[in-house]
Homo-oligomer: A and B are copies of this chain.
Amino acid sequence: MTGLTLKDIRKSYGAVDVIHGINLDIKQGEFVVFVGPSGCGKSTLLRMIAGLEEITGGDMFIDGERVNDVPPSKRGIAMVFQSYALYPHMTVYDNMAFGMRIAKETKEEIDRRVRAAADILQLTKYLDRLPKALSGGQRQRVAIGRAICRDPKVFLFDEPLSNLDAALRVATRIEIAKLNEQMADTTMIYVTHDQVEAMTLADRIVVLSAGHIEQVGPPLELYERPANLFVARFIGSPAMNVIPATITATGPQTTVKLSGGKSVTLDIATNASENGKTASFGVRPEDLQTASGEDFLFEGTVAIVEALGEVTLLYIEGLVEKEPIIAKIPGILPVHRGEKVRFTADKNKLHLFDAGGKSYRV
């Protein structure tokens, strides 16, 4: 068994349990992204993999070897930190060479590997600079270069791009994607807050919440078939619109009555036992379309119009208490505040969750 295996991994700080038993198999070469709300334990989990936090319970295997007690430097991992964590008093070259020097590699080998990494990351001309003379993006590239030099089996990233500005973030994201291709055998684990990063980089996304896994799967699977309400609302931006509903008819298709009063039939099979139960009906803002005829899903008053050029966001009030329903319509829409608009959506892009938040779609 190659790659990384977590078996019932637990972590507590004193009496506080932070990670409640995580089971996860990561194949060699896979790119796995951890996402989840702030404080859910992403960093903690990553740091346990790195060996920077002690493992309170469970077993961790890298390449089949149990590594619970192996020090970080022996695990064959490399880590890139959100704050770069460059050695401020060393040049870029020395930053990258540090680990190899500690490991007493030969001068030539060090030079070779540093230059190779610098080449990949287009850092060659900055090798003699100190970190403070670099821009944020360059710094992060140095941090990545330092990790590459370690030639790790597992590459760990903890929100590596969140200190960068939008344009840089896009550019560096693409570089990481390329890197992933070049280092095909290297397992990569990536923690992020950013939807786009998660969706674009991941082979599989792990959605964490309060110390346990909500769902694991390829990005599009999570997007199209979220296992529960948490994942549904967490993946996608703006978040999926959720409307309280009551199930009125079951069978291969299910009919629900939305809180606004309208009934909708979905292409989802339910058991008869579910009839009459409360449920949550969900539809993504980008799946909504304006409807002109009578065949509409629901109707509402536009509270805010945000025209972004490429898309227009409509905030619809009067359907759900407090929270507006959001619709994301491509292009520029001639709609104004206060207008009533009707929406429709593709049937198979509708979601239904039971009272516990579990999706009815299998």
Contact of A307 among B219, B236, B308 (CB under 8 A): B219
Copies in the assembly, this chain: 2
A199 CB contacts on chain B under 8 angstroms: 306-309
| Nearest residue, chain B, Cβ from A174 | B304
Residue A165 interfacial (CB < 8 Å): yes
* Contact of A309 with B166 in the complex, beta carbons under 8 Å: no
Chain B nearest Cβ from A157, distance in angstroms: 17
Bound form: Cα–Cα A68–B48 in Å: 58
- Output the nearest chain B residue to A337 by Cβ-Cβ distance: B181
Does A261 have its Cβ within 8 Å of any Cβ on chain B?
Answer: no
Residues of B within 8 A of A196 (CB): 306, 308
Chain A positions 196 through 240: 1 when the CB is less than 8 Å from some CB of chain B, otherwise 0: 100110000000000000000001100110000000000111110
- List B contacts of A165 (CB < 8 A): 38, 193
- The answer to whether the Cβ of A310 comes within 8 Å of any Cβ in the partner chain is yes
Q: Which among B177, B194, B307, B310 is the interface contact of A200 at CB below 8 angstroms?
A: B307
CA distance A38 to B135 in the complex (A): 12
Q: Which residue of B lies closest to A284 (CB)?
A: B310
A332 within 8 A of B: yes
List 16 extra interface pairs beyond A199-B308, A200-B306, CB under 8 A: A166-B195, A170-B237, A170-B238, A196-B306, A200-B307, A200-B308, A200-B313, A219-B307, A219-B308, A219-B309, A224-B332, A235-B309, A236-B309, A236-B310, A284-B310, A330-B330
3 closest residue pairs by CB, A with B: A223-B309, A200-B306, A286-B310
CB pairs A–B below 8 angstroms (11 shown): A166-B195, A177-B306, A199-B309, A200-B306, A200-B313, A219-B307, A219-B309, A220-B332, A224-B332, A236-B309, A286-B310
